[in-house]
Structure 1
Amino acid sequence: MKKLLKNGFIRLGLVVVVVGGAVAYWLMPPIAKVESAEIGNGVKVKFKTNGTQIEQFQNQSWNPYFAKGVNMGAAVPGHFPGELEISKDDYMRWFEMIQEMGANVIRVYTVLKPEFYEALVRYNAKHRDNPLFFIQGVWSPEEQLIEGQNAFDPKVKQKFEKEIQEAVEAVYGNIDLEAEEHSGKASGSYVFNAGPYLMSWIVGTEWDPVMVVKTNKNNPDVADYKGEHFQSQPGASPFEKWLAEMVDITAATEAEHGWQHPIAFSNWVTTDPLEHPGEPLVAEDMVSVDPTHIAAVDWDAGYFASYHVYPYYPDFFTFDKSFQTMKNDKGEADSYKTYLHKLKEYHNEMPIMITEFGVPASQGIAHTGMLGRDQGGHDDKEQGEMDADMFRQIHQEGYSGAILFTWQDEWFKKTWNTMHYDVPDRRAYWYNTLTNESHFGVLGMYPSKDDTIHIDGDASDWDKLDNGDKTKLELQSEGFNEIWATHDEGYLYLLVNFSESLEFSNHSIYLGFDTLKGGNRHAPQLQGKTLDEGLETLIELGDEDEGRMMIASNYDFHTRYYGHLSKILAFDPKELQDDSGLFKPWKLVVNYLLEHPDARFDHPFGDIDVGDLRRGTSNPQDPNYNSKAMWQVKGNTLEIRIPWMLLGFSDPSSLSAISYTDTGTKEFESVKVEGVRLVPWIVSKDSQKVIGLEGSDPYPVSKLPFYAWDRWEDVDVDYVERPKQSYYTMQKAMREVNQPVTE
C-alpha cells in the first residue's frame, strides 16, 4: 500500500470493427508522433551528435540539447526490483511530477515491464507539444562477467546479445517476453512503440576493473572490430573491441525499425581514461575503458560518452591534491569541479554526459567527500543543495546532460557498511535509514506513520491513533507520568510525559533499551545504580539540540566486526566482556585500512559516528522541518523516533535482532526477540541524582513491559510517497537550464 497524491484518469482510444453485423471494440495503443528528420531510406532521427554536442530536431531544425534527467529504478517499498511492482498509474503520476521538476528525460537501466512503455506513450500522447523522453539501458550479464572474468566467453556474449535484442524489441513494442523464474527480468507483451520517445541508448553497466584486466590479458590477439555501424579504433584494448561489437549490435538491431538514436556504453570513474595519482586503492585506477577507442562509421545519430560521477568515490576525490586545483563559484577548492573539467577536456571531440550523480539523504554514511559531500548523513534539504550544485557544475563545464541518481527511494538496496548487519531477503520490508543507498531519491518513500506522527513535541497526533496501534507502557517511576509506544516500517516511536517540565541545563534524559540477555547492568550514566538485566543500547538527551545513541561495548557490532573478527580496529578485550559498563558511540566504517601491495600507499582505517539524533520537527508543513529530526521536547512532553538498526535490529519485520553469539566467522547471527523493553531515567546535573530508578538495587528491569509487535510481510508494508525538499531545489536548478553551454 501507499499514501500519495490523487490519481488522474486516462482516456483510452477505441477502434470499432463490424464483424458479421456485430460491433467489436478493441483498445488501441495511441500512435507516437514526434517531429523527426529523415535520412536515407526513410530512416528517422530525432537526436544526434554533432561535434561535442547532442542536438534535437525541433521546429524543422537541429538545436543543441541538454539532457536534464533522473534515473528511475524498478522497485517500490515492500518489493524487490525483480518483482516489478510499479503500476501504470504510478508511472503516469511520476512522469507528470518529473516534468514538473523541469526534467526532459528519464533513464532506465534495463527493460522494464510493459506498463512503463505503455504509460510513457499514453502520457506523451497527452503532451504532444512537450513529450518526456527516455534513455534505455541494456543490462550486461554482470554476474557472469565477474564470475568468468572474460567478456569473450561465448556464453557471456550470447547472453548480452540476447539482452540487446530484447531491449530494442521491447522499446519498439515488438516482443513477447516469457517470465523466467528467479530471473528478476521483466516479462509480458510489449505492444506499445515507445521508440519515437527514445533519446539514446546506454549499453552495459559499471565495469569491474579486474574483469577488464583479465579479459584484456586472456584475449591479446583479438582482431580490431569492424562492424556495419561501429568499429574499434587503433589502440583499442580487447575489452574495448568487445564493447564496440556490443554497441554495433545495438545499432544494427535498432536499424531494423527504421530509427537511429545516439549510443553510449556505461562507464564510471573507476575505469575512466584519466590518471588518479592520489588514489590509494590500486583496483580503482588499474585499467581504463576509453570511449574514444570506439567510433561510429555509419550511424548518423552518433555516439557519445556516459559516466557515473559521484563526489565521494573513489577516495581520490577526497585525498588527491591534483584534483583540488580548481575553485567553485563559492571560491572553494573543489575536487568534483576539477574532475569534471579534466574528464570533459579529455573527451574533446565527442559529447559526454554525466548519467549518475547525487548524494543520499540518510542517517548512515558510507564515504566522506570534500566540502561535506558525503555518501549520506544529509537531511533532505542538504541533499537538494548538493545535488543542485553538482548539476550546475556539470552544465557549466559543457556536458551534454546531467542525469540525477535517482527518482525514487528504494528500500531493498544494500550498502557495503551495513550489509553485514541486516537480513538480505527482507531488506525491502523496512526503512533502514542507516543504509544510505536506499535514500538517493528526490521522491521520498517514507515509512507509514510519516504523515501521522510528527515529531514536534505535540502529543495530539497520538490521540488520532487507534488503541490497537499504540501501547501504554506501564511504569511506576518518579519523574514520569506515562509513556506510550508505537512503530512503523522505519522507527520505534515513544511519547514520554514527564511529571514536570525539564531544563537541559539542569537535567539529562536517558532511555535504555533491552532486547536480549546480556548488556550493561551498570554504567557511569547510571550514577552508581545497577539493573537486574542489561541494556544493549542507550539514548542520552543531554543538551538543547543534540542527542545520541550509544551501544553496549560487548554488543557493539562495529568493534566486534572490525576489531575482534577482522583484526583491523584496535580495542581493549575487556570491552567485549558482558556488563563492561561501557557504552560506545554507534559507528559505521567509511574506509578500510589499505596497505601495500593492495594500496599504492598506506591509507588509515576510517569510521564515523552515526548515532547522533537531531532535535527538531519532522512535520513537512512546518517551516523548520528537518527530515532527520528524531526528537523534540516541549513542556513536559518528549516525542522521539528511533531507527530500527540503531536498536540492534537486523529485520524488525520479523522481530530479528543481531545476536551476541560469536559465530567464528565474519557473519552475525540474527535471533528472534519478543520486542523492546524501555528503561527510562533522568539525572540531575547538579546533584547527580538519578530520578526514575527508585527502589531496590538492582533495579528490577525484568518487571518492566516489553513493547511487542506482530511480524509483517510484503503485503503489510505501507508507505508515504512525498517529494523531498531536494525535489524543489532540483526543480529550481533544472528550470534555470534550457540549453548546453556552447564552446
Structure 2
Amino acid sequence: MEKAGIRKRISWLLLAGFAGATVGFAMWMFPTSAQVETVQTSEGHHIKFRTHGEQLQMYKDSTWKPYFVKGINLGASLPGHYPGELPIQKEDYERWFGQMYELGVRAVRIYTIHQPVFYETLVEFNRKHADDPLYLIQGIWSPEEALIEKKDAFLPEIKTEFRQEIEYAVGAVYGDIEIPERQGKASGTYTANAGPYLLGWHIGTEWDPEMVSQTNRVRRQEPMYHGRHFQAAPAATPFESWLAEMLDYTAQLEAKRGWQHPVTFTNWVTTDPLSHPGEPIIHEDMVSVDPTHIQNVNWEAGFFAAYHVYPYYPDFFRFDPEVRTVKNERGEIDPYKSYLRQLKSHHKGMPVMVTEFGVPSSLGVAHLGPLGRDQGGHDEREQGRINAELLQEIYAEGYSGAILFTWQDEWFKRTWNTMRFEIPEDRRAYWKNELTNESFFGLLAMDAGKEDDLVIDGKADDWDRLPAEEKRKMPAHMPGFRDIWMTHDEAYVYLLARLDGAFQPEKETLYLGFDTIPGGNRQSGELPGLSLDEGLEALAVLGTEQESQVKLAAQYDFHRRLYGERFGMLSIPEEERQDNSGVFTPVKLAVSLEMTPPDTKQYHPFEEVVVGKLRRGTTAVGKEGYSSQAHWQVNGEWLEVRIPWMLIGFTDPSTKHVLSYRDGNTKSFDAVKTEGIRIIALRGDKASGRLQGVDGTVVPLSTWERYTWREWELPQFSERLKESYSIYQKALQTIPADR
C-alpha cells in the first residue's frame, strides 16, 4: 500500500551542476549528474526514504522496499588536532569513503556540520556510485554545555543557538548557505547539494538526565508544542515537547528545499523510556525521554527512534535480573540481546535504530560488561568479533539499522578513569595513550610514528633500518645483557636488547627498571640483593604469561594514590606510602567507584582491573602469536619490548611530563618535566631466586646515561585498517539491506 499523499509516479531528478548567482536557488534541486529515484508527496516534496510501520523503507526500482541501514559513525579529528580544528582534507574523505564502501556500510553518520569539502567529496563519490551510493545521516549538535550548565532547555538563548545550528546544518546539506567563521565549528561557502543522498536527520546529543529532569520540573506549565510537521503527544513531558519543536523546525527548513527525509533525535540508555530496577546508580535511571511521545503531522518521510546502546553501560547490564531473560544462539544468557528486545517492544509502530554501538581495541578498560564485552581490554581481533556479534543481534531483534562507533581512532578523546593522569590535559591529541579506551573505537587505526617501522618480533633488522638519530645505544651495565638500544614514538618507549644467551621464561625472569625523577624504590624484595643510589618509578617484569607486566613503585602508583589516599576507596598500608617502600604494585584502573545511598539504591563497591599486563607475541600480521596488543617478544638472543607511556608514569611524553610524587589539589595530580629515562636491565634465576651480577654493593644508577628526546608539536602517525575491519566486513555481508 502506498502511504497516503504520495504519488505513485517516479520522479527522476536529473541533477546537473550550475554556477552563477542567477541559478543559486536551483542548485539545491539539481546538484549533480547522478539520477536519484524518488516519489513525490501531494505537496511536491521528494522522498527517497520513509518510515512505514516499524520499517524504514527506501524507494528503488519503482517500489518501496524495507531497508536495514548498515552504517558507521565518522568523527572530525586527526592525531594532533581537536575536532573544532577541522583538520580532515579532501584526500582523507576520498580515501575513507572508498574504504567504508569496501567495508560494506552504505551510510555515514556525522555528529555535526563538517567543512564544505566533506559534502563536496561525498557528492563526487556518489556520482561514481549512483546505483548504490553512500548515504548521509546528518547530525545536528545541540548546545550541550549550556544545557548541562543551565539545566533548562527552554531558555531563549539555548533555543536560539540550537535553531541557528539547525539552519546551518540544513543549508550545509543542501549546499545553499554561507556559514560565518565560528570558534571550533565548521564555516565557509556550501554549494554541493548532498540532499539527494541524505538518509535522515539526527538532532541533538546524549541528554544529561539532570538537565532533562530539571527542565521538566521548571517548565511544567509550558503549553505542549503543536507544529506544522511535529507535535507533542498528550503524554509528552516538557522536554519531549521541546524536542518536538526542534524536530519541527528541522522539517520546516527542509521542506523549503523540496524534500522530506526521516528525522530522529539522539537518545541513549541513560534516558531511555524503560525502567531498570537493577540499576544501582540513581542518576542512570532517573528520567525518560520517550520518542513515542512525539507525533509527526504531514511529514510523510516519517520519524524513527535512535539509541546509543553499548553492552557495558550503564551497570544494570551486569546487575539487573530483568535483562537476564534471553539467551543468544550460543545458549548464553545475553543481557544485551534481552535489552534490545525490551527496547524494541516499547516502540510499537515505529522503527528503531541503534546509532552507536561497539567496543574499543585498547589496553585500558573503563567498564565491565557481561560475556566479556568490556569497554576496552580487547585486541583488534576481539574487537571485530564482539562488534560482529552486536551487529547480528541488532539485526535479529528487528531493528532498522546499526551504525557502528566508529570509523577512525581519535587521540584527543578522554576517559573518566585516565583523564586525571593526562597532564597537561590540553595535550591529549598529541600522543596516543593506550590506557584511554575512548581513543580506540575505530576500525581505522591511527598508528604512532614508528608502529609501521618496528614490528615486535624479537628481530633486529627493522631497528637496523632506523636512522641513527632515531635510536640510541644505551650502556648494558648489568650481566646477562650485551647491548641495549632505545627509541620511542607517540605511543611507546621501545627497547631492543641483545642478551648474553637465549632467554628461557620458565627458568628465568627479565627485569627492566625505569627511573624518571628523584624518588622511588632503591631496594625491593622483588629484586633481591639489589641496592640503587636512585630509585625506580616503574618495573617491567618479563617471564611467563602470568608474570609479564609493568608494576609501579607503591608510593608512586597514581591509581592507588587517587582512590586510596584521596578518596578512601582502597586500603593502603602506611609503610607502602613511604619513599623506598620496596613494593611494586600492578598497574590498575578503576572500572566502578564505591558509591552509597543516596547516589545508589544500595552500597556499590569499588572495582578495579589490572591493565599493565604485557602480552608476549608479535605485531607481524598473519604470523603465529599475532596480536595488535603484543608488547614483547624474544627470538634467540634478541629481546624486543614496547611499553605504553602511561604505564611508566608519563602524563604527556610530547612535553616530557611525568607524574610527580607531589600531590596537587583534590581534583588533579601534579606533573613535572623529566630529564629523560634511566633504565636498568636485570636477569634473574627462578631456581636460586638470585639476580645475575648483583653482589650487594650500591649500583650508581644516578650516574648512568638518560634516554631523552626532543619535544614535539606535530605528531607523526599513519593509517591502518585494523584486523577488526575485515571481521566486521564479513559480518556485514551476512546482513541483507532489504530485511
Q: How far off is 1:29 after superposition?
A: 7.1
SS of 1:722 mapped into structure 2:
strand
Q: Aligned runs of 1:640-679 on 2, under 5 Å?
A: 640-679=641-680
Contact in 1 for aligned 2:17/2:33 (Cα 8 Å): no
Q: Determine if contact 1:657/1:672 at 8 Å carries over to the other structure.
A: yes
Partner of 1:222: 222
Distance 1:544 1:137 in 2: 45
Contact 1:456 1:618 in 2 (8 A): yes
2:121 aligns with 119
1:130 CA displacement: 1.3
Task: Determine if the alignment matches structure 1 residue 703 to structure 2 residue 696.
Answer: no
* Structure 1 contact 32–193 (Cα < 8 Å) conserved: no
CA distance in 1, matches of 2:463, 2:569: 46
Q: Which residue of structure 1 lines up, in the alignment, with residue 639 of structure 2?
A: 638
How far off is 1:545 after superposition? 7.0
> Taking structure 1 as reference, are residues 465 and 621 closer, same or farther at Cα in structure 2, changes over 3 Å only?
farther
For structure 2, the 5+ residue unaligned runs are 1-14, 21-29
Question: Match for residue 689 of structure 2?
Answer: 688
Cα deviation, residue 738, structure 1 = 1.6
1:433 aligned residue: 434
Secondary structure of 2:698's partner? coil
CA gap 1:29/1:740 in 2 versus in 1, 3 angstroms: closer
CA contact (8 A) 1:565 1:666 kept: no
Counterpart of 1:600? 601
Residue 279 (structure 1) shift? 0.3
What is the CA distance between 1:449 and its match in structure 2? 1.1
Match of 1:493, SS?
Answer: strand
2:331 — aligned with what? 331
Task: Give the Cα separation in 2 of the matches to 1:296 and 1:265.
Answer: 13
Partner of 2:231: 231
Task: Give 1:686 deviation, angstroms.
Answer: 1.4
Q: Deviations over 1:586-614 (max 9, x none)?
A: 01000011111110111100011000010
Q: Distance in 1 between matches of 2:664 and 2:409?
A: 33
Separation of aligned partners in 1, 2:277 and 2:420? 32
SS of match in other structure, 2:526: helix
Partner residue in 2 for 1:4: none
Task: After superposing the two structures, state which structure 1 stretch, 542-551 or 652-661, moved more.
Answer: 542-551
Amino acid of the residue matched to residue 484 of structure 1?
A: W
| 8 A Cα contact 2:529 2:694, kept in partner | no
**1:194-593 paired onto structure 2 within 5 Å:** 194-422=194-422, 423-543=424-544, 547-593=548-594
Partners of 1:359 and 1:596 in 2: CA distance: 30
Q: Which amino acid aligns with 2:291?
A: P
Aligned counterpart, 2:85: 83
Whether the 8 Å contact between 1:273 and 1:290 is mirrored in structure 2 is: yes
Name 2:50's counterpart in structure 1: 48
Residue 86 of structure 1 aligns with an amino acid whose one-letter code is: I
Q: Distance in 2 between matches of 1:549 and 1:480?
A: 20
> Structure 2: how far apart are the matches of 1:654 and 1:431?
13
1:157–1:369: structure 2 CA closer, same or farther, 3 Å change rule? same
Tell me by how many angstroms 1:139 deviates. Answer: 0.3
Per the alignment, in what secondary structure is the counterpart of residue 511 of structure 1?
strand
Q: What is the SS of the residue equivalent to 1:150?
A: coil
Q: Aligned partners of 1:66, 1:376: CA distance in 2, in Å?
A: 28
Q: Which of 125, 138, 141 is equivalent to 1:139?
A: 141
Question: Cα distance 1:503–1:410, how it changes in 2: closer, same or farther (>3 A)?
Answer: same
Q: Which runs of 5+ in 1 are unaligned?
A: 1-12, 19-27
Q: 1:3-39: per-residue Cα shift (whole Å, max 9, x none)?
A: xxxxxxxxxx999999xxxxxxxxx974453111111
Answer yes or no: is the 8 Å Cα contact 2:18–2:31 preserved in 1.
no
Contact (CA 8 Å) 1:400, 1:740: kept in 2 or not?
no
The aligned amino acid for 1:482 is D
Q: TM-score, normalised by structure 1?
A: 0.94
Instruction: Count matched residues.
Output: 715
Cα distance, 1:739 vs structure 2:
3.3
Residue pair 1:454, 1:461 contacting (<8 A) in 2 also: yes
Question: Which amino acid in 1 is paired with 2:627?
Answer: N
Letter in 2 for 1:102: G
* Alpha carbons of structure 1 residues 46 and 708: separation in structure 2 relative to 1, 3 Å: same
SS at match of 1:189: strand
Q: Is the 8 A contact 1:135 1:202 kept in 2?
A: yes
> Does the 8 A contact of 2:16 with 2:33 survive in 1?
no
In 2: Cα distance, 1:415 partner to 1:643 partner: 16
| Length-normalised TM-score, structure 2 | 0.95
Which residue pairs with 1:9 in the alignment? none
Contact 2:177–2:190 (8 Å) recurs in 1? yes
Any idea what SS the aligned residue of 1:37 has? Answer: strand
- Give the deviation of 1:524 after TM superposition: 1.1
* 4+ residue segments displaced more than 3 Å: 13-18, 28-33
AA of the residue aligned to 1:704: W
Residue type at the aligned position of 2:630: A
Letter of the 2:598 partner, please give it. Answer: P
Shift, 1:621, TM fit? 4.6
Instruction: Write the letter of the residue equivalent to 2:294.
Output: I
Question: Matched residues in 2 for 1:16 and 1:34: separation?
Answer: 17
Q: Which AA in structure 2 matches 1:733? A: A
Q: Which amino acid aligns with 2:731?
A: A
Identity %: 52
Residue aligning to 1:6: none
CA RMSD in angstroms comes to 1.6
- The yes-or-no answer on 1:174 pairing with 2:176 is yes
Asked whether the 8 Å contact 1:644–1:652 carries over to 2, the reply is yes
Say whether the 8 Å CA contact 1:545–1:614 is kept in structure 2: no
Q: Is the 8 A contact 1:33 1:196 kept in 2?
A: no
Asked if 2 retains the 8 angstrom alpha-carbon contact of 1:504 and 1:544, the reply is no
For 2:172 and 2:427, the matched residues in 1 are separated by: 31
Counterpart in 2 of 1:22? none
Q: Which residue, out of 705, 729, 732, partners 1:731? A: 729
Alpha-carbon displacement from aligned partner over 1:361-384 (angstroms, at most 9, x marks no partner): 000000000000000000000000
Specify whether residues 226 and 321 from structure 1 end up closer, same or farther in structure 2 by C-alpha distance, changes over 3 A only. same
Displacement after TM superposition at 1:740 (Å): 5.5
Amino acid paired to 1:580: S
More deviation, 124-133/45-54? 124-133
User: 8 Å contact 1:408–1:444 — kept in the other structure?
Assistant: yes
SS at 1:639 equivalent: strand
Q: Which moved more, 1:544-553 or 1:445-454?
A: 544-553
Q: Distance in 2 between matches of 1:361 and 1:16?
A: 45
- Kept in 2: contact 1:546–1:614 (CA 8 A): no
Q: 2:433·2:646 contact (CA, 8 Å) conserved in 1?
A: yes
Cα distance 1:471–1:735, how it changes in 2: closer, same or farther (>3 A)? same
Aligned residue for 2:142, secondary structure, equals coil
Distance 1:726 1:546, change over 3 A: farther
